[in-house]
């Protein structure tokens, strides 16, 4: 394996890339099967500047919301540069499980949405909270592992 691709500094970058793609897919699923209303009222006009859109536009609107995740990514790279005792193998394993758990939690949020009782922003609120918690867990792993 190429050593640079398996370095501890690449783990936060891989995690950021995973989250970006995962947010796009979760937004696509939400648009197609769960709650398209939020896309017509918020995502399409406010994020993309269009009034109507499709599944591809939902994916793009999700990806456009991910740049704030670069901040914790940079903090993790900085923390890893100062922490010389981090095991790359363990860091990869923890982030792999964190990625699987995050995807499962995001899908659970979509699955439990009830259009009769839930606010249209409920899913996005929960998804932001879940990703913030995942970033805090990831950052703590990078600092204390």
The answer, yes or no, to whether residue 52 has pLDDT greater than 80, is yes
pLDDT at 30: 95
Q: Which pTM does this prediction carry?
A: 0.88
pLDDT at 2: 66
Q: What percent of the chain has pLDDT over 70?
A: 97
State the Cα–Cα distance between residues 104 and 2, nearest whole angstrom: 30
pLDDT at 1: 56
Instruction: Annotate the chain with three-state secondary structure.
Output: CCHHHHCCCHHHHHHHHHHHHHHHHHHHHHHHHHCCHHHHHHHHHHHHCCCCCCHHHHHHHHHHCCHHHHHHHHHHHHHHHHCCCCCHHHHHHHHHHHHHHHHHHHHHHHHCCCCCCCCCCHHHHHHHHHHHHHHHHHHHHHHHC
The answer, yes or no, to whether residue 111 has pLDDT greater than 90, is yes
Q: Is 103 left (phi over 0), alpha (psi -120 to 50) or beta?
A: alpha
pLDDT band at 136 (very low <50, low <70, confident <90, very high): very high
User: What mean pLDDT is predicted for residues 20-39?
Assistant: 94
Average pLDDT, the chain: 90
Structure confidence by residue, pLDDT tens digits, 60-87: 999 999 999 899 999 998 988 888 888 8
pLDDT at 55: 93
The answer, yes or no, to whether residue 99 has pLDDT greater than 60, is yes
Structure tokens at 83: 């922490």
């Amino acid at each position: 394996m190429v050593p640079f691709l398996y370095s501890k500094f690449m783990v936060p970058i891989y995690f950021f890339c995973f989250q970006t793609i995962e947010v796009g897919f979760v937004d696509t699923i939400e648009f197609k099967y769960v709650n398209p209303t939020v896309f017509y009222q918020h995502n399409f006009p406010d994020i993309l500047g269009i009034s109507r859109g499709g599944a591809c536009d939902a994916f793009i609107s999700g990806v456009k919301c991910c740049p704030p995740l670069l901040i914790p990514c940079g903090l993790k790279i900085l923390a890893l540069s100062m922490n010389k005792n981090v095991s790359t193998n363990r860091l990869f394993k923890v982030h792999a499980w964190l990625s699987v758990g995050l995807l499962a939690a995001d899908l659970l949020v979509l699955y439990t949405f009830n259009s009769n009782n839930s606010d249209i922003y409920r899913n996005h609120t929960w998804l932001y909270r879940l990703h913030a918690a995942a970033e805090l867990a990831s950052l703590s792993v990078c600092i204390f592992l």
